[in-house]
Amino acid sequence: MQTTYFLFVGALVLLHFIVTGSATIIVANNQNNTVDLNALLAFKAAIFDPQRIIPTNWSTSTSVCNWIGITCNARHHRVAAIDLSYMGNAGTIPPQLGNLSFLVRFNVMNNSFHGHLPTELSRLRRLKYISLEGNYLTGSLPADIGYFKALVYLNLSNNQYLGGIPSTIGALQDLQELSFERNKLQGLIPDSMKNMLQLRHLDLSFNHLEGEIPNSLQVLSNLQYFNVSYNRLRGPIPHGGPFANFTNLSFLSNEALCGTPWLQPCTSTFEHESRKKRIVMIVLLASGSIILALVISIFLMRLKLRKKILAPTQNLRPMATFERASFHELRQITNGFSESNLLGSGSFGSVYKGIRENGMVWAIKVFDLQLEGAFKSFDRECEILSCLRHRNLTRVITACSNLDFKALVLEYMPNGSLEKWLHVNHHVLSIMQRLDITIDVACGLEYLHYGYSTPIVHCDLKPSNILLDQDMVGHVCDFGIAKLLGDGESVVQTKTLATFGYIAPEYGLEGLVSTSCDVYSFGITLMETFTKRKPKDEMFTEELSLRRWVQDCLPDSVIQVIDVDLLHPEDGLVQKKINCISSVLQLGLSCTTDAPEERINMKEVLRALQKIKLQFIKDITP
């Protein structure tokens, strides 16, 4: 009887502990969820959303884990990711986001956020990924930037940051990718960056940085990409460690840099001062003679002209004749350019996969010099790619050029081309993946047309020229027949034709090239991506083209042209998917009118695609 009594009491105590303990956990979770909710509501109040998606969807009547752009972790149901990229939002980033203690990813790239980055974000010790690229953020970089100890990715490019790079940045010892490109940063490159031993990608281009490149950065053995072009740097370029692999593309438009095979040699301070004194003496002696003064003036003009010719910023051609990756090395890492390493073939050559001793993977585009136009194509790709910097364009790493061999070493894209995913691979791209890829391509084309000082026309856009990286991000490649529209030109004439089926009528008939030609090619690519029909499919004839087929089926019979892999009768979202794809195909038709002046431009295309994506997210969100 006594034993039974103690067992009964023990059970009651245990039950009490379980109930009260569970209640404590529930209360704690509710409090934590309230913290996340309040932080996001503060963010909502700071956002201006012209599409009215955030004000409508971010409702307290549903869990924050179901809000658009919000992802929660499975274990704690806490906010782990905020992704509002490409949504056209404006506003500020409130300090309350610093309370999202489980936040791992924060991405608001390509919006219109302004103001300062709040220092409270430095409390987010789990934060690994920050992308604020393409906004209007101002002020100085936060001095406590080194507190983001867990960061592996930080992109603040294309903003309006001022001041210097804080020395505390060296504390980010796990950081792998860092970009401050296209800001207004000044001062020196911090020596403390030598501590960032995991760094693979460093882009400080298009700023106002001064001083020398620290020699200490030679210890960054993992660094694969380095770019300080278009700054005010001076002095010798480091030549050890990863700098042995960097070409002039990493240092463009820094006239005072020296000490490489493609820049002027470095001279000592003594030699520099001696030269100055000699010039002063000559000028003094010349003061009594008009003829002598004239001779000296001519000499100085020739000296200035000579310096101008030597300056790398005046001529981007050295890249096309400068060999940093030897033929022997490229041959070795591709197993003698064997078919087993062949990634694909294009109009002027073939692309091979090469794996270096350090594990870095390259895509090596070897030009077939027996083909007419191959030399010109190589020079044009060097010229174009040396100028361009955009996440949706393929990146050139270096080049190899001699009399009988020319190759470009490009960033390797492990997921191949969009064409293979549409027509070869057994995997099926979802609607969202296809939307994201086409938005990536539209971003790249918009940059070509409007983001560079001279409009650039790609001239040969098609799925085989759209490559996908490890994250399935789209990159436009193959600039072999691209055209630059200089001196206010909107149209140029060419005899070089692109791929039939994707080529605009005025291009094919008269050789007239403009940015509208790329819009036409994009429209055809858009239709192919969602119908899975090539413009040269055997079903099409002179009377029936891909465009005509889509046009005849819109809007009432659109289901007849949609890729069958995208629609399943048992899916309750079929109609919403049809509505989304119908909007995409209608956009494709707007891109492919016969008259170029009636086509929309790439800015309008990009905005329309982003709007379609946001509406689709809204429609399929419970």
Which amino acids are annotated catalytic? 460
CB count in 10 Å sphere of residue 272:
10
Tell me the C-alpha distance between 108 and 99, whole Å. 18
- Select from 463, 485, 482 the least CA-distant residue to 474: 463
Radius of gyration of the chain (CA): 29
Tell me the C-alpha distance between 575 and 584, whole Å. 14
- Are the beta carbons of 180 and 161 closer than 8 angstroms? yes
3-state SS, residue 363: strand
- Binning the chain into helix, strand and coil, the percentages to the nearest 5 are 45, 15, 40
Asked if residue 365 belongs to a known ligand binding site, the reply is yes
CB count in 10 Å sphere of residue 428:
13
The Cβ-side half-sphere exposure at 88, using a 13 Å CA radius, reads 17
DSSP alpha helix (H) spans, 94-182: none
Q: Is the torsion defined by CA of 68, 73, 79, 80 positive or negative?
A: negative
The burial class, CB within 10 Å (0-12 / 13-18 / 19+), for 262 is middle
Q: How far is CA 385 from the centre of its chain?
A: 13
Tell me the C-alpha distance between 411 and 372, whole Å. 26
Tell me the C-alpha distance between 76 and 82, whole Å. 16
Q: Indicate the DSSP class of residue 379.
A: H
The burial class, CB within 10 Å (0-12 / 13-18 / 19+), for 309 is exposed
Tell me the C-alpha distance between 109 and 129, whole Å. 12
Annotate 1-37 with b (16+ C-beta within 10 A) or e (fewer).
eeeeeeeeeeeeeeeeeeeeeeeeeeeeeeebbebbb
**Binding-site residues for ATP:** 365
